[in-house]
Amino acid sequence: MALTVALQRDVLHVYRDLGKMYGEPKFLQRYQAYVEKVTGANVQLVESLSRDYDKPEFGLQFTEIEGHKVPVREEIAASKPFGNLLHFQRDTDRNDPKFLLVAPQSGHYATLLRPTVERLMQEGDVYITDWLNARDVPTEAGQFDLDTYADYVREFTELLGPEVNVLAICQSTVPSVMAISRIAEENPEKQPATLTVMAGPLDPGAAPTEVTKLADKMHLPSYLRTFITEAPNGRKVYPGYVQLMSFIAMNPKNHFSSHRELYNHYVADDTHPDVVRIERFYREYFAVADLTAEFYADTVKRVFINKELAKGTMTYNGRPVNPEAITCPIIGIEGAMDDISAPGQTRDFLDRFTGSSDVSFYEQAHAGHYGVFAGGHWRRDIAPRILDKVHEVFKAKGLEFTKPQNETIPVEPYQPVVAA
């Protein structure tokens, strides 16, 4: 399709050059120029919508510390078949808290959390789970399901030690709770310093969304037969582009509006800053990764259809998951306008963390799902609260880090919602 549109544009270029060579009325030249801009915009837009997007780079080569640009380099701290533990090593003498960002596996790469990493790097030693595209993992690596995901989180958490602060975002909150619960049961001294659960489907029945409504009426075997495919290496996968279409279908007006705005800028042939902003967002948003078929089926069935974690029936490697065993401080974060993991899905589950005497909660006004971990709300309101709690926890243990360079904000203790 993009090739056809490009051919139309090139034909118009030929007519334009012939007109200039042999003479053409001015109004026709102006009309010709306008039509060229329109066809050029068509080419750009169609090409952007039909392109295969490679995995983006984090591209975080510097961070700003105390007004100075400080070099950053990426290092693989641990390598596993389905993903790596990536460390953003800063060239600084600051002694900052250690953070493990557990990226979701929901069709996008971990680079979707670039803004999360960028903000935390200013005052934290940041690690992230960098998941691979399932279609690129050899079948010899075995299967990867929800329990395997939790295995990875547990291994990475224990590798980084009890001083690490785990931040689980969106879908990753469920396997993170599974992993930390098991650590708390078996080796309580190896629990992370804090556990933050952000905008996740811990209790998807607490606040229905289009995602939960689809799960409630889904006939999973039929859905899997329709969409599960086989990668060239023989691995069964749930294609990332199918997941992407599901995301777009939840907010079609917003995506259409963004591309209409982008198209108008192309036609005007201007250099409006929104062009760069929209293009950058969709380069990331359209870069999708396949999920293993077993992980997708496991997540849909156990998390969304059966709601096992919320009902207390979730198992991990054959044994019950007991969130009550977690004793480390816990922070819950939600966005008031989140239409993917709606307000309540994280908050209501905080009642299950009865083993912790320090549970905090913050709901960010006017923030949607992505606003919880990216954008102004994340930078100015959410990150400062997480950092404040982390420093408070370590100070209570007699351990202090370098003072945060940005102002922190206290996060309020969690207050259970009392039914009327």
Angle between helices 252-268 and 26-50 in degrees, nearest 10: 140
* DSSP per-residue codes, 307-345: -HHHHT--EETTEE--GGG--S-EEEEEETT-SSS-TTT
Distances (CA, A) of 101 to 49, 88, 126, 404: 30, 11, 7, 19
Check residue 22 and give its pLDDT: 44
Distance CA 282, CA 291 (A): 20
Rg (CA), the chain: 24
3-state secondary structure of 72: strand
Cβ count near 282 (within 10 Å): 17
Neighbours of 392 (CB within 10 A): 16
Helix (H/G/I), strand (E/B), else coil: 118: helix
Q: Helices (DSSP H) in 59-145: which residue ranges? A: 114-121
Place of tokens 């279908």: 249
Pairing of strands 229-230, 236-238: antiparallel
What are residue 264's DSSP bridge partners?
none
Cβ atoms of 229 and 236 closer than 8 Å: yes
Element containing residue 26 per DSSP (H, E): helix 26-50
> Strand order in 229-230's β-sheet?
229-230, 236-238, 291-292
Nearest to 117 by CA among 175, 56, 68: 56
pLDDT at 12: 43
Question: What's the one-letter identity of residue 289?
Answer: A
Single-letter code of the amino acid located at 88: F
**What pairs with residue 65 in β-bridges?**
68
Strand segments (E) across 110-217: 125-131, 164-169, 194-198
For residue 15, the model assigns a pLDDT of 44
Quote the tokens at residue 212: 């939960």
- Tell the residue number behind the tokens 């009550």, with chain if given: 324
Strands 125-131 and 315-316: unpaired
Residue whose C-alpha is closest to residue 100's, from 312, 386, 346: 386
pLDDT in tens, 180-228: 999 999 999 999 999 999 999 999 999 999 888 888 888 999 989 999 9
Q: 84 vs 102, 103, 164, 298, CA distance in Å?
A: 11, 11, 17, 22
Beta strand 359-364 pairing with 164-169: unpaired
Kind and range of the H or E run holding 259: helix 252-268
Q: Are strands 125-131 and 83-90 parallel, antiparallel or unpaired?
A: antiparallel
Q: What is the pLDDT of residues 283-319, one digit of tens each?
A: 777 778 999 999 999 999 999 999 999 999 999 999 9
Name, in order, each residue with C-beta under 8 angstroms of 240's C-beta and a sequence gap of 6 or more: 107, 108, 133, 288, 289, 290, 291
252 vs 248: CA distance, rounded Å: 5
Q: Give the burial class of 402: count Cβ atoms within 10 A of its Cβ; 0-12 exposed, 13-18 middle, 19 or more buried.
A: middle
Instruction: Give residue 275's pLDDT.
Output: 74
- pLDDT < 70 regions, the chain: 1-53, 244-251, 255-256, 258-259, 262-263, 265-267, 269-270, 418-420
Question: What pLDDT does residue 1 have?
Answer: 46
**How far is the CA of 337 from the CAs of 48, 87, 206, 232, 397, in angstroms?**
29, 32, 15, 40, 36
Cα(57)–Cα(111) distance, integer angstroms: 7
